[in-house]
Structure formats: C-alpha cells, structure tokens
Structure 1
Amino acid sequence: MQPDESSPAHERPEEKQHPTKTAGLTDTKALGQKFLASLKFSTLRKRSWRTKASLFLVLAAIISSFATYAALTETPPFGNDPRTVITLLNIDLIFLLLLVALIAKRIVAIWSGRKRGIAGSHLHVRLVYIFSFLAAVPTIIMTVFSAFFFHFGVQTWFSEHVKTAINESLAVAESYLEEHQQVIRADTMAMAADLDRQADIFLAKPKALEAIMETQSQIRNLPEAIIFQKNGHVIARSSLTISLAFENVPSYALNEAEQGDVVLMLGEKKDRVRALVKLQNFEDSYLFVGRMVDSKVLAHLSSTAAAVEDYSDLQASYAGLQITVTMLFVVVGLLMLLAAIWLSLVLARELVMPISELISTSDRVRSGDLTARVPEEKSFEEFEYLAKSFNRMTQQIQQQRDELISANRQIDLRRRLTESVLKGVSSGVIGLDESGNINLSNASADLLLSQKSDITGRHIFDVLPELKDLLERAYSRPGKITQQEIILESQEKEASGRRIFLFRASLEPLAEQQKGIILTFDDITEFQSAQRKAAWSDVARRIAHEIKNPLTPIQLSAERLKRKYLGQIHEDKETFTTCTETIIRHVEDIGRMVDEFSSFARMPEPNLKEMSLVKEIRDALLLPQQAHSDIRITISVEPSCEKVRVELDAVQIRQVMNNLIQNSVDSIRTKLELDPSRQAEIRIVIARNTPDEIFVAVTDNGMGLPSGESPERLTEPYVTHKTKGTGLGLAIVKKIMEDHRGRLLLTVPEEFKKIKGWSELGGATLILTFPLKIETTHQAIKQEVA
C-alpha cells in the first residue's frame, strides 16, 4: 500500500442555492388576467404598426416578468440556476427601459395635447391619472408585501429556535461519530500496546503475528487490521482485511501518527471509521484498522454538517441577499407597473378618442359645417351607438337647414321683389304689428316724413302721434280702408312749413290670430296747391273776362261826366269832382287787378335762352333803384358768377325781380311808418351754393314774413296780408321759378348761412335758385353798390 500525497482529507458536498419562497403569485396572475381582458377589445380594431409593436413589447414584458418570478421560486421548468435568473433580470431591465421610453412618449403627447387645448385632453389626463393610480396601487402593494414576506420569512430561518435546533442536530451527529471514534481509538491503542509488548516474539515468528492479529481483531471488533511499513510493505493483516489494501493513506495522517497520536478518518466510501497509529517497537511500522459504521448515520451526519455550513453562509450573507431579492421584486414590480400604466394609457385613449372626436365634430357642426360626421366604427358598442345617433342627428339638422335655406331663399326673393316694388312706389308704406311697432317702411316713407334714420322698430306714435284717431277707426273697421288728411310740420330745411298728407290705413291679418295695420300715404301739398292754382286760374280768367268789359265804359262815362257837367254845377262842385275822381281811381284799381288776374291766368311758357344771370338781374334793378331812391338797393356778386350763363326768360326774370323788390319796398314802407329814422335797405346777393346751382337772394330790413303763416301758404294764389294786395305776386314768382327748373325758398337753409360773405338785414329773405351746366370756383363775394 502506497501513501497518496494529493488526496484531500475528505470531500465536501456540492453547494446548493437555497430556494426563495415569496407571496404574491396569485395577485400577479390576477393582474395578468386583467391585462389580457383589457387587451381583448384592442384586437377588434385595425392597428398601426407602432401600436402593434407597443402591444408586443408589453406582452413580452409581462411574460418576462412571470418567467423571472417563476425562476426565483424554482417553478418548473426553471431549476436552481442563478445564471437563468440573471439573464431574465437583464431582459427585464431592457423591457423596463423600453416601457419607460414608450410611456414617456405617450405622456408627452397627452400633455402636449392638453397644452394645445385639444378636445377631450383634460378628460384624457384625468382618466390617465385614475387608471394609473388603480394600476399602480395593487402592483406597489404586491411588491411591498412580497418584500416584507421575504424579510419576515427569512427572519424565521435565523431565529434562535432554528439556530438551536440546527446546532444541536449537528452536535448530536458529531457526538455519535465522536463516540465511535473514541471507541475505535481506545481499541486501536490497546491493540497497539499488546503488539508492542510482544514485538520481539512477533518479529521472530511472523505466523504468530498473523495469529495474534486475527485474535485481536475478533476480540476488539476490528474486522479490518493491517500492519504496514512506511514504504508500503505489509507485515501482517487480519483475514477480513481486503478494502484496506486498496485505500491510500494520506501523508498528513502518517505525519500525525509519527507524533504518537491516533489518527481517525473515514473511509473512501464513507462507510467505515479508520484509525492509524505508529507501533513503537516495530521498525517504521504502523497499525491501520477499520470498523464498519451504519451508512445512513454517516449520510445524515454529512447532510447535517453541510446544512449547518450552508446555514452559516446564508446567515453571513443575509443583508446582501435581502437587498438582492428585494431589488428583484422591485424590478419585476416596476415592469408589471409600467405594463399596467401602458395598458391604462391605452384604455384611457380608447375611452377618450370617441369623446374627442365627438367634441371636435360638434365644434365643426357648431361653426356651420353640417357635413361633419363621427366615425361609427368604435371599440365599444355604446360609443358606436352614440356615434350613429349623432350622425343621424347631424344629417337631420343638415336636411332641415337645407330646407330652411331653400325656404329663406324663397322668402328673400319675395322680400326683394316686395322691396323693389316698394322702392319704386312714390307713396310711403308703413307696416305695423299688433302693438303698433313699425315692422316695415320703404324709402319713400322715410323721405316724406323727413326721417334721417330707419324708423323700423319704433312705435308709430313716437313717429306720427297725429295718427291716433285714424288708427282707432282702422282697428274698428277690419278689412276696410280708412283715410284722413293730416297736416304735418315738415322738418326739411328747404321745405320747412306745413305739409298735407293723405293717410290710408287698413287692418290686415298677418299670421294666425295676429293682425296688423298697413299704412300708405302721399304728400298732396303740391297737388292741392296745383288744384287751387288751376281753380284760381279759371276764376281769374272768368273774372278778367266778365269784369274788364264794363270797366272801360264806366271809366269813360265818369270822365265824360266830369268834363261835361263840371262847369254847369255851381253848388257843391267839390263833391262832384271828388265823386267822379273816386270812380275813375277805383276803376283804374279794378283794371289793374283784372290785369293781374289775366296775367296769372294766361302765364305764358318761358322762352328760355342762355344768357348772363348777373346782367339780367342788374338790368331788372335799374328801374326800382330810380323809382325808390330813398331806399338803398345794393347787389353783391361772387366773382366766379360774373360769367355764369343760365337758361332763362329775361322778361319773366324781370317780372320776378319787380315782384320781389315791390314786396320788400312795401314791407320797408310799413316799417318806416313805425320807425321813420330807420335806414331802409334792400340787398341782392348772387353766389354759388353748390357746384351745379347758383342762387339770387333778396333780403331787406322791413317787417319780414307774416308770423303764424307757413311759407308754402304764402305762395298760394290770393293769400295776402297787405291792404291792397291781390296775393298773386309770390304765386307768379313760384310759377316762373318752377318753369325755370329752379326753386323759391322763403326760409334760409343752414348751408347758405355758411357761405363766405353771407349776411341778412333782419327782415324777409327770399332765395331764387337756378340750375347750372358749368363748374366754377367758389370765391369771396364782391360787394357792388349800384
């Protein structure tokens, strides 16, 4: 037998990774089922490749987290392989980073949509908060409780009871083995002592040595015994010593035996206890014995020792192990949490997108785009039904709007036709509702009533309070026309005074159980004036014909009586003379009046010729200036008017100026009777008021126009306030100006007062206007005294 220098004292059992058992597997499976359930509706719609890739990533992350958990708990097919756990953990970290990037992108998109005010973005954010919270709470609870369960579970492993049990088990096993070793040690030392005492005999008789070896092995229950030298030479052995010959003795055992100690060891098959001792009386010889030990006891002893060693190692690395496992739980929990958050984002998007589409489409409809429609293919039946209902509603609104537009077009066409008709009507037309508010008026109504703004919407009594009696009679006679002549004060500057209007009112049905008044009216002032002029013209013609014939004989007879009988009358001669002269004078006055009647009745058509207005006016003033030298008559002409030529009849213009000057003279004479010291003056002004019109103003410092009489009334025939007046002067002047397409103004409009050099003398001011054909420049008025 040769000793083995490299063999170890004893082989150690293989190290084993202790399994870690945690709680929370049930919660994790429930979360996975929830994920799959929430994923079910997503597969019903066509997805873009980005959505499909995100879904695949989430599914892979969930599968990886389940695999990691199974590897940690050594669930089949995973075993006790740390490299598998590390690999799965690295994969989890990769999925974790990808999910963080994916979720961050979605959150940025949601936040950006909220900043831009996209429809439904606020609801989207709220749903993300709610779903993320609902998804995070179970995952966090599961992770925290798993870590706590691991901590408390490991704490129970390292409790004092467990430590005592493990240590006492090892002590019992070691005591049992030590007891065997002490027995074999004592037997070995006794056997060695017996051999050393008889060493001389045994060396001389080798057979006696073998016999004693057999006897000693049987007596001491050492079935295996052998004496060998250090070089491996066997000196003697027992009959049952077979396995000892094939076992190598470690060198450290030989060295310890050299010191005189008994070296105890286990056999190579772990089923025997060996003992080695040096024989002192034998030359370089050793006694090597063996005794059988129960293999189960040795196996339990080995397992107990290995378990105690592992327990000690685990206790030494407890803090690091707790951190590692906790981090594993955290990684898996984060992975599940991120997957749940992503699913919550997807679910929130699926819920918000139909609402956002509905809101945006509603905004388009509100802005007038009735062709907007909501996509009807939805993930949820409720949203699909809502989309279909909204589209049907929008379609109905569009149809109704088209019908309304068509009806409004017809109404607008009729309205335009009515407005066109009303615009072409010279009569004023006003429509009233039941409350008396004006709901319709044409341009002629505003013009005739001198209204600067539209009267629609105002109450009729605010515009025409004089119509109260007419409207009351119209309401009492529905369907019949009621008319009335009403005199109104005109507000126009150029036609101030009273105007006569003929109003006609009719109560007509407007709608169901509603009635309104239709008012039509005309300005009949000129019509009545023309009627009166025509009537007076006929009267004047008849009077001139009937009166003028006897006037001549009467005048001749009175003159003949004066010549023939004046010399024959001796008594009361003065009375005769006075009577005849009175007859002759009054006949002349009547003749003069007849001439005026005749002139008014037979007003000839003007013979219009283009000539200088200024020259004709100056010529017309020559005779009055000489006849009334006590009155200062002046003329002021704007320089630009000197060369202005106007179409006029010179004879009629002289008649106009004579009538106006005579009226001024009569008014001044009456004023002088009241105030003789007053300076009498008549001023004629010729200037331009507009580019296409020239005017002649006659102003004096006499009595002025009669108060309490409208200017229009003064121009009617036979309206006079003078003692010997016929009332035809202004009527003739107005007729001549109308024939010249001009105007006679008895009041001064405001725009005339703004002309440079304009002034009035305080009496009456009458203005004649003539239309022009040429343009001149307005300049300062040139004063010219005749």
Structure 2
Amino acid sequence: MNFKKLNMNYLIGFITFLSLLVGFLTIETFAGKGLLELNSLNIQVLLIINLVLLSIFLFFVIFKFFRLFTEGKSSNLIGANTKKKFLIYFISLSAIPGIVIAIFSLLIFNYSIEKWFDKKINETVTNSVAIAKEYLREHQSSISKDILLIANDFSRSSKRLMNNNSDFEKYIQIQSNVRSIKNIFIVSDKGLLTHKNPKFNVKKFIKPDVYILTAAKKGKPVIISSAYTNKTYGMVKLRGFKNSFLYVVQDVDPKIVNYIKKTGKVSEYYFNIKNNIFNLQITFTIIYIIITLLLIFVASIVSINLSSYISKPLTYLFDASSEVEKGNYSIHLKNENLDSDFSQLYTTFNNMIKRIKDDQTKKSQEGRYEAWKLIAKKLAHEIKNPLTPIQLSLDRIDSKFKKQIVEDKTLFEDHIKTINLQISEITNLLNSFSEFARMPNPEFSDTNIIDLIDRAVLPYKTNYKQISITINSSLKSNVIKCDKNQTFRLFTNLIKNSVESIVEKNENKGKVEILIQGNDSSVDFLFQDNGIGFELDQMSNISEPYFTTKQNGSGLGLSIVSKIIFEHKGNINFYNSKNGANIHFTFNKHL
C-alpha cells in the first residue's frame, strides 16, 4: 500500500471538508443567518480563510496536473491519452455547470440588489420612518398641550394652592384624571419632589434628568421620549410659583416603541447598505467567485483521482495487450482491489490469454509431433530398405565361410554375433519409429483407470519382486473417459522407465508409487520412484523425440507419453526429488 499517496488523499479530503464548511459558513454569515455576526471584520476574516484554502487547492491541482503529465511523458504508457481525456471530460463536466450557475447567481443577485433599492421600496422605507416619527411627534405634541393646560390651571389657582398642601395634591389628582396623565409632579429647580398625586408611592419617584431641568428653566415646555424606558417626559416652569416646575411622566405603548425602534434600525441598515451598494456587490462577487473556484478545484481533484482510478486498470490492460502483441502470453493481470466490472474484465482477459496460449501451445505441439512423425516415418523407410539386404548378406557370409575358416574362427563368430546384435537393435529402433509414426487418433471411451493401471503394472510386479509398486486413488469414480489402448501404452512406458531407472541405480528396495486424484475438470496422476532421477540440464529436452539418457534407449518413450497426454488435452511436468524422479500429468475430463 502506498502510504504517502494515502496520506495525501486524507489531507485533500480534510481540506475539502474544511473548504465546504467555511464556504457554507461564509454564505450563511453573508445572509445574516450564520453563527457569526454580519460585519466587516467577520467578512474579512472569512474572505482571508477562503483565499488561503483556495491557494492550497490551487497548489494541489497544479501538483496533480504536473505529476499526471510528467508521468505520461516519461513513461510513454499506452492509455496516457485516454487518462488525459477522462480528466478533461470530468473537469469540464464539473466546472462548466459551476461556472454557468455562478454567472446566473451573480446576475440574479445584482438584479435582486437593484430591486431591493428601487423607487417603490425606497419610498416604503422612507414612509415607514416618517410615520414613526409623525406618531412620536403627535404623541409629544399631545403631551405638550396637556402640560401647558395643566400649568395654566395651576397658575390660576396658585394663591389657593401655594399654602395648602392637601388641596394641592388633590388638585394634582384631579388633573391626572382629567388629562389622562398618570404621573404629575411638582419639583423644585433642583429636581426635588415637592408635590405629587396622593396615590403615588414616593419611593418610585425618579428625579428628572438635568438636561430636562436646564432646558425647562429657559421657560419653554420640554418634551423628551425615551425608547429605553418606553416613557415620555415633559416639563414646564410654573408661573405664580417660586422655582417650581410641572413634571409629567407618560407611559408609551411598548409595541409602538418597539415598532419605532425596528423602523429606525431597518431604515438605518437599509440606507447604510444603499450607500455601500457597490462595495456590497464587489464583496459578494469576490466571495462567490472564491467559493465557486473552491468547488471547481475540489471537483478537479476529485476528477483527477477518479480519472486515475478508472484509467489505471485500463492502462494495465493496454500494457498487457501490447505484451501479448509482442508474443508474451505469460502475462497475467491481478484483479485485486478492483471494482467488480474491472475485475470481471481482467478475469476475461486472463482467460482469453490462457486460451490463446493453450491454442498456441497446442498448434506448436501438433506441428512438432507431425514433423517428428514424418521424420520417424522417413527414417524407418530409409533405414529399413538397406537393412534387409545387409541381414541377408550377413547370413550368406556366415553360412559360406564359417566352415572354411579354421584360423581365428572364434573371432569370426564373435563379429557375426556383434553384427546380428546391432541389426537387431536397429530393427527394434525401426519398430519404435514405425509405432511413433503410425500412432492413430485417439478414440475416447469410458474406462476403469485402476483396472487399466493394474494390467500395465502386473508384468513388472511379477518379474521385479524387489520393487514395490503401489497405486493410491482418491477418485470418487474410477471410470474416466480416455483412449484405452493409448492410455495403457502410456502407463506401460512410465512404469517401464521407473523400473529401468531403479535397476540402473542398483537400488535394493525399489519403490514406485502412483497417486491419483481428481476434480470437476481433470484427473491428476503423480508417478514417484527412487531411481536415478533426471539431470537438471536434461529437464527441458526430456520429452523431445530421440532424446535419451539410456545406453540402449530410442528416445521415444517419453515423447509417446507426452503425445498421448497432449491428445487427452492434458499437460505433463517432470521434477527431481531427493531420491528419484516425479512425473506429474493430467487428463482433461471434458473430452
């Protein structure tokens, strides 16, 4: 596993998640609905974070592109162009819709901004503020009128009220009921309470603000409304009273005050944005472009990884195809860590190459066997023609000169025997050539393989008591489809070779073991003996016709074995063991 690449992917994944999170937070903040307050500082911080992330992604994209194109140039791999096309298609597929959506979003935003600040909305906001102000003005005007009327009433009754505190407070109560003003007070020029409504709790009295006192001393009524206390304060100097002021406190409906507050804030916010509409459009455009680029870069990196993920198996497939074109049929594609489709494709390719290789091997072997059959037939014919006259001539020489030769007669007889022996060996060789050349096409039929092997083994068990020959089978059924005569010949040759190898080694306790097992597609045979085995430098030629390691061998025994196995769509392999030789071969069940 490539841990460096894995760590890079984890880092890209983390930055992608962080970018999406920051982008979402930026949009939410800009819309005024996020966790952060919409102000210039937060927007600037988010903008800087987005720019940093954008720079990191730009680095990753450039790095990935650079590595992709340099790898393609350096390795000159088949399929590099396909990989690049995949990459271009994927990036285009993600980038073009993103750019189009971004353009339309910016146009819609600008159009919406213009609609927000058109004449009708502007007039609506202005009228709302004007209505709020007019309401407040009328409220204050009403209180101002009431204050002047109350002050006049107090002034007209000043002589009567000045020295009678009880009547003064009752008069205040009457004015409070008549004018619908709950809190009416008489205060000194220092703001100290001198007279009040009898029902009013003195402890709840709050001294008037210095600003109101200072303004009232000038002689004109003073009216001030407070949005924080939801009250309107009024004060006027009383005529006929020394340093006394009429001070009233009137409650204002909290809903009205809240409405006035909101109207003021909305109006202020509205005109503030209106005055900075260009900056707003530029800021939103920059943020939206950054977020769009972030998404495009994220899509680009995903596209690069996806392109590599898809094209990498195809590149291996292209390389393998190129090797096959060169004649390398031993290529094998590993289908590990692949999607099911690619895994199936690799399996199909491997099976196809295996069949091609088998067909090539079969054609090669067929050609070789046909060539050797032709050579064997030709050799048998060419050698047999002069061999008969030689044998006849030798017989005549023996019969004519045997009685005439007196001196060295024994030597003469030895020479005649030697020539006869050589002629006999050549005749046996010719018979082997003829058998190899005349091997018929196989005729497959159901055969009890154990019985057949027993018949092939029987003569050697009888004549070689010192050699143990055993057959071990794990077949569910002993009946297989094969050519009975050729298969008998195969086992006879193999047992004969093993016995001769043991005899040549002078092994006191000879051993030949035949192991048989099968599966759904084939039957496996393993011959093991403790004879002389095979030389390593002979292994590649051991099944070639006319190749032999024996003094009197024809070199056709294992060649005939190989041809019979080939006709049964099997294969054969030769191995050396510590004590002898192993021959493993298979028969295909599907004949």
Range into which the TM-score falls when normalised by the shorter chain:
0.5 to 0.7
1:336 maps to 2:285 = no
Alignment counterpart, residue 310 of structure 2, candidates 333, 351, 371: 351
1:134 maps to 2:103 = no
Residue in 1 aligned with 2:70? 112
Local SS of the residue matching 2:237: strand
1:383 maps to 2:324 = no
Residue in 1 aligned with 2:329? 370
In structure 2, relative to structure 1, the CA distance for the partners of 1:119 and 1:301 (3 Å cut) is same
Asked whether the equivalents of residues 222 and 234 of structure 2 are also in contact (C-alpha less than 8 Å), the reply is yes
1:294 maps to 2:253 = yes
1:307 maps to 2:281 = no
The Cα of 1:201 is off from its aligned counterpart by 4.6
1:604-638: CA deviation from partner (whole Å, max 9, x where unpaired): xxxxxxxxxxxxxxxxxxxxxxxxxxxxxxxxxxx
The Cα of 1:297 is off from its aligned counterpart by 2.4
Aligned-partner Cα distance in 2 for 1:73–1:380? 43
In structure 2, relative to structure 1, the CA distance for the partners of 1:137 and 1:80 (3 Å cut) is same
The Cα of 1:69 is off from its aligned counterpart by 4.0
Equivalent residue letter for 1:230: D
The Cα of 1:186 is off from its aligned counterpart by 1.5
The Cα of 1:373 is off from its aligned counterpart by 2.3
In structure 2, relative to structure 1, the CA distance for the partners of 1:392 and 1:155 (3 Å cut) is same
Local SS of the residue matching 2:181: coil
The Cα of 1:99 is off from its aligned counterpart by 2.2
1:733-779: CA deviation from partner (whole Å, max 9, x where unpaired): xxxxxxxxxxxxxxxxxxxxxxxxxxxxxxxxxxxxxxxxxxxxxxx
Aligned-partner Cα distance in 2 for 1:256–1:244? 26
Aligned-partner Cα distance in 2 for 1:150–1:285? 62
Alignment counterpart, residue 100 of structure 1, candidates 39, 58, 75: 58
Aligned-partner Cα distance in 1 for 2:229–2:18? 50
Equivalent residue letter for 1:373: H
Asked whether the equivalents of residues 74 and 80 of structure 1 are also in contact (C-alpha less than 8 Å), the reply is yes
Residue in 2 aligned with 1:399? 358
The Cα of 1:200 is off from its aligned counterpart by 4.6
Aligned-partner Cα distance in 2 for 1:243–1:264? 23
Aligned-partner Cα distance in 2 for 1:399–1:132? 44
Aligned-partner Cα distance in 2 for 1:75–1:223? 43
**Where do 1:565-576 residues align within 5 Å?**
none
Residue in 1 aligned with 2:146? 187
Asked whether the equivalents of residues 224 and 240 of structure 1 are also in contact (C-alpha less than 8 Å), the reply is no
Equivalent residue letter for 2:325: R
In structure 2, relative to structure 1, the CA distance for the partners of 1:396 and 1:326 (3 Å cut) is same
1:250 maps to 2:209 = yes
The Cα of 1:81 is off from its aligned counterpart by 8.9
1:143-185: CA deviation from partner (whole Å, max 9, x where unpaired): 2233233322232222221121222222222222222211211
Residue in 1 aligned with 2:83? 124
Asked whether the equivalents of residues 270 and 295 of structure 1 are also in contact (C-alpha less than 8 Å), the reply is no
The Cα of 1:134 is off from its aligned counterpart by 0.8
Asked whether the equivalents of residues 191 and 208 of structure 2 are also in contact (C-alpha less than 8 Å), the reply is no
**Where do 1:186-585 residues align within 5 Å?**
186-242=145-201, 246-266=205-225, 270-377=229-336, 379-403=338-362
1:205-258: CA deviation from partner (whole Å, max 9, x where unpaired): 444433443333333333321111122332222335448953232222222212
Aligned-partner Cα distance in 2 for 1:381–1:250? 85
If the length of structure 2 is used for normalisation, what is the TM-score? 0.55
Asked whether the equivalents of residues 139 and 337 of structure 1 are also in contact (C-alpha less than 8 Å), the reply is yes
The Cα of 1:84 is off from its aligned counterpart by 7.4
Q: Percent identity?
A: 22
Local SS of the residue matching 1:364: helix
Aligned-partner Cα distance in 2 for 1:188–1:356? 96
1:143 maps to 2:89 = no
Aligned-partner Cα distance in 1 for 2:361–2:100? 60
1:449-502: CA deviation from partner (whole Å, max 9, x where unpaired): xxxxxxxxxxxxxxxxxxxxxxxxxxxxxxxxxxxxxxxxxxxxxxxxxxxxxx
The Cα of 1:270 is off from its aligned counterpart by 3.8
Local SS of the residue matching 1:231: coil
Equivalent residue letter for 1:311: Y
Local SS of the residue matching 2:328: coil
Local SS of the residue matching 1:248: coil
Structure 1 unaligned blocks of 5 or more: 1-45, 421-786
Aligned-partner Cα distance in 1 for 2:246–2:68? 89
Local SS of the residue matching 2:233: strand
Asked whether the equivalents of residues 225 and 241 of structure 1 are also in contact (C-alpha less than 8 Å), the reply is no
Residue in 2 aligned with 1:596? none
Local SS of the residue matching 1:238: coil
1:650-696: CA deviation from partner (whole Å, max 9, x where unpaired): xxxxxxxxxxxxxxxxxxxxxxxxxxxxxxxxxxxxxxxxxxxxxxx
Alignment counterpart, residue 152 of structure 1, candidates 94, 108, 111: 111
In structure 2, relative to structure 1, the CA distance for the partners of 1:412 and 1:95 (3 Å cut) is farther
Aligned-partner Cα distance in 1 for 2:153–2:9? 92
**Aligned-residue CA RMSD (Å):** 3.7
Aligned-partner Cα distance in 1 for 2:8–2:166? 96
In structure 2, relative to structure 1, the CA distance for the partners of 1:237 and 1:137 (3 Å cut) is same
Alignment counterpart, residue 12 of structure 2, candidates 36, 41, 54: 54
1:414-465: CA deviation from partner (whole Å, max 9, x where unpaired): 99999x9xxxxxxxxxxxxxxxxxxxxxxxxxxxxxxxxxxxxxxxxxxxxx
Local SS of the residue matching 1:161: helix
Equivalent residue letter for 1:376: N
1:585-620: CA deviation from partner (whole Å, max 9, x where unpaired): xxxxxxxxxxxxxxxxxxxxxxxxxxxxxxxxxxxx
Aligned-partner Cα distance in 2 for 1:97–1:131? 22
In structure 2, relative to structure 1, the CA distance for the partners of 1:361 and 1:55 (3 Å cut) is farther
In structure 2, relative to structure 1, the CA distance for the partners of 1:357 and 1:236 (3 Å cut) is same
Asked whether the equivalents of residues 191 and 213 of structure 2 are also in contact (C-alpha less than 8 Å), the reply is no
Asked whether the equivalents of residues 189 and 262 of structure 1 are also in contact (C-alpha less than 8 Å), the reply is yes
Local SS of the residue matching 2:213: helix
If the length of structure 1 is used for normalisation, what is the TM-score? 0.43
Aligned-partner Cα distance in 2 for 1:187–1:267? 19
1:189-210: CA deviation from partner (whole Å, max 9, x where unpaired): 2322333345455434444433
Asked whether the equivalents of residues 223 and 240 of structure 1 are also in contact (C-alpha less than 8 Å), the reply is no
Asked whether the equivalents of residues 210 and 238 of structure 1 are also in contact (C-alpha less than 8 Å), the reply is yes
In structure 2, relative to structure 1, the CA distance for the partners of 1:140 and 1:282 (3 Å cut) is same
Aligned-partner Cα distance in 2 for 1:69–1:332? 9
The Cα of 1:333 is off from its aligned counterpart by 1.6
The Cα of 1:131 is off from its aligned counterpart by 1.1
Asked whether the equivalents of residues 228 and 234 of structure 1 are also in contact (C-alpha less than 8 Å), the reply is yes
Number of positions where the alignment pairs a residue of Structure 1 with one of Structure 2: 375
In structure 2, relative to structure 1, the CA distance for the partners of 1:53 and 1:195 (3 Å cut) is closer
**Where do 1:74-89 residues align within 5 Å?**
none
Asked whether the equivalents of residues 172 and 196 of structure 2 are also in contact (C-alpha less than 8 Å), the reply is yes
Structure 2 unaligned blocks of 5 or more: 380-591
Asked whether the equivalents of residues 79 and 314 of structure 2 are also in contact (C-alpha less than 8 Å), the reply is yes
Asked whether the equivalents of residues 64 and 88 of structure 1 are also in contact (C-alpha less than 8 Å), the reply is yes
Aligned-partner Cα distance in 1 for 2:247–2:337? 91
